[in-house]
Structure 1
């Protein structure tokens, strides 16, 4: 594998777009933060070429998060090029992340370590329940304190990170969501009942994240309504498909009810203390 240069960027974008279901994070970060330097989420790319075309892309952010999109499994090469690298986490296709972790001897449990079912939906096939009496509002028009409280509860339930100040993280997250206009709160009449959002947005696709319904309101189809209404907005703006990974069986059922189909698994592994790769 060879280190990419800016001249390779069009080929990298084309490759990642062809593998968009597992490449939303690196593709979004590339378009927002660019290649190498200047931002923790700026990216370096290691490429494998076959017959004049990219066959594999191994991405690592400036903050040390690995994103493998490597169909031909060039793990031995990856171990050599990553020697001495400090790794904060790995995100991607479940089987690829498992193989890469084994190759890199990253056998210690991560602080956050989850494999979740990966889903995709062409938005032309979106199905939605009755939406009468419901409205979807930007977080800027919703109670900020409630949004922070829900985000805090979500992090504690779905993305618990040892040593993290959950309240501070939630406060910062909501501020960034309001700035990016990426998340929405669902209202039934005048009552807020659920929250949803996009954690990656591209012209080609959106990736759903941060869906939350308070425990006492679950089982009523609120999450699926929130997601469906947000996806209707995305479809109206020209987005063709949506990607997500489900954090629970109940969440999976909600997504399947509006048309999502499972296409694989997605792993999120984040270390409390960065791991250094040794050959």
Structure 2
């Protein structure tokens, strides 16, 4: 099927195009809201500026497709979006659970309340993306770029973010319980009131990060860089900070009960009692 036939049939009211072969098709600016393309081959297709609001793209092959489009409330469960271009796309309240987004470009995309749980997003570009209140349980974001992304209220329970870049990202009230952020870059990130209990931040960079009121209890923080970080009223009880860098960090009113600080660098840190560590 080609683009003209699809648009003609859609215009007559037809909506079901299950498993249709539309590989490489150009549907720039097309209005295809509520279309059913479940399991369709749409690899390398171009949907720039298209309206795919409420579209069913479940299990569709969208590898390498250009989807700079309106995908509000779209169903993309288990879809193959490997290396797809979704930059600046609107995916508000879309379902991407279990989707393959490895190497995809989602820079500047709007993913507010989108379900990305168990999605494969290794190496994806999510810089400046809006992921407010998005469920992202067990998502794979290894080596992903989330610099300046807004993840306020996002749920990243047991997510894997090893070596991910979250520089200057917003994670206010985010839930990262049990997440793996080993070697991640969170310098300048805002993690105020975030839930980080049981998180693995081994060798991560949180220099100048804001963890005001964050719960970082029972966490693995070996060799983590907290230089000049704000840990005011943070809960660090029962965490392992062996070899961590806390120089010039603010620890006023922080809970350090049962914390392991063996070999930690504390020079210039402002301790819970308000005194500066020499």
Largest Rg, 1 or 2: 2
Larger RCO of the pair (alpha carbons < 8 Å, separation 6+): 1
Give 1 or 2: higher strand fraction: 1
Please confirm whether the aligned pair reaches a TM-score higher than 0.5, indicating the same fold.
no
Give 1 or 2: higher helix fraction: 1
